[in-house]
């Protein structure tokens, strides 16, 4: 259960990533449904983290790998926890404020924010391809917002969704750094172990009585979140992110389906104009990152051969 990619199994990795997208889309639907039944956002975050902590601890105990949670980088885990729970509030907030399809589409801007963060944090040189992807992606966002139309999407909800995507991109750099020394399951454990007590501080102010159906929705939401984290981690053991990222975009299919069947909402035509632009931009970023890594490996191999 180490952080490296095990024996490459691309079809298995794609299948696991497909299940990840389904789990995340189902979780988002349940978050929205729970909020409509009176469950506060902060309460949902608590149950999501607390139940995931129980699941991941039980899984590690069953596999006899509890020793994997030992760490010498508690400070890094704590910083990831603060950023992570902040990001969750924006992610859940976007799902609550926006229709599911629009919230999912806005979340696809994460790769564009990753490009901008690479420039700002690491002074990485950004070429024409990635700058073009950023511009195309945010043009897609502008179309999804439906400016000038009577059915325009709530601008505040769009802003929350964009902040959520930015936070996910920022957190991805933290996780990438942690992966150099920590196992993926250790990262999940410490994230939930640190944030569940933090989220519990809000319970005296937001916890209310719920009927059995609502408790079932909350439990299912938390289990979907736990499943998504485990599936995501496992998928990266059998395939590279650049190869399997295409499956992430299938979450839009599930979001549209849930929006139609659960919330009786059909996406407007502008979504189908803007979403392909955002998806294509994300795929272009992933392809370019993959190519840059290939070139870097070839150059490193050439230098080592020359020596």
164-210: per-residue pLDDT in tens? 999 988 988 888 788 888 888 888 999 999 999 999 999 999 999 99
The answer to whether residue 112 scores a pLDDT higher than 70 is yes
150-170: per-residue pLDDT in tens? 556 788 999 999 999 999 889
The pLDDT of 119-129, averaged and rounded, is 79
Q: Is 265 left (phi over 0), alpha (psi -120 to 50) or beta?
A: beta
**Rounded-to-integer distance, Cα 85 and Cα 249, Å:** 24
Contact 121, 292 (CB under 8 A): no
**Rounded-to-integer distance, Cα 18 and Cα 240, Å:** 14
Q: Which of 158, 160, 169 is nearest to 134 (CA)?
A: 169
Contact 260, 25 (CB under 8 A): no
pLDDT at residue 1, rounded to an integer: 44
Q: CA–CA distance from 125 to each of 45, 93, 260 (Å)?
A: 37, 33, 43
Q: Report pTM.
A: 0.85
User: Max alpha carbon distance in the chain (Å)?
Assistant: 70
CA angle 154/159/164 to nearest 5° reads 125
The answer to whether residue 247 scores a pLDDT higher than 90 is no
13-57: per-residue pLDDT in tens? 888 888 999 999 999 999 999 999 999 999 999 999 999 999 999
């Amino acid at each position: 259960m180490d952080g490296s990619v095990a024996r490459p199994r691309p079809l298995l990795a794609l299948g696991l990533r497909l299940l990840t997208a389904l789990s995340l889309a189902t979780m988002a639907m349940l978050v929205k449904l729970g909020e409509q039944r009176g469950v506060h956002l902060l309460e949902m975050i608590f149950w999501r983290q607390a139940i995931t902590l129980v699941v991941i601890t039980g899984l590690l105990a069953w596999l006899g790998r509890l020793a994997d949670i030992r760490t010498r980088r508690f400070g890094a885990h704590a910083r990831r926890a603060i950023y992570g729970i902040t990001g969750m509030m924006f992610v859940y907030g976007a799902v609550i404020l926006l229709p599911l399809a629009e919230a999912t589409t806005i979340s696809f801007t994460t790769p564009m924010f990753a490009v901008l963060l690479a420039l700002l944090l690491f002074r990485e040189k950004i070429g024409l391809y990635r700058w073009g992807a950023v511009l195309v992606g945010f043009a897609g966002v502008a179309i999804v917002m439906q400016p000038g139309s009577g059915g325009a999407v709530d601008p505040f909800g769009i802003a929350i969704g964009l902040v959520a995507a930015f936070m996910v991109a920022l957190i991805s750099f933290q996780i990438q750094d942690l992966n150099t020394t920590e196992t993926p399951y250790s990262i999940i454990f410490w994230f939930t172990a640190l944030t569940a007590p933090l989220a519990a501080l809000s319970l005296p102010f937001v916890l209310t009585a719920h009927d059995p159906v609502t408790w079932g929705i909350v439990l299912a939401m938390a289990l979907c979140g736990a499943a998504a984290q485990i599936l995501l981690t496992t998928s990266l053991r059998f395939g590279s992110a650049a190869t399997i990222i295409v499956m992430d975009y299938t979450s839009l299919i599930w979001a549209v389906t849930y929006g139609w069947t659960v919330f009786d909402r059909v996406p407007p035509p502008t979504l189908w104009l803007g979403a392909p632009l955002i998806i294509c931009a994300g795929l272009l970023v992933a392809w370019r990152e993959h190519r840059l890594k290939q070139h870097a490996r070839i150059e490193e191999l050439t230098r080592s051969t020359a020596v």
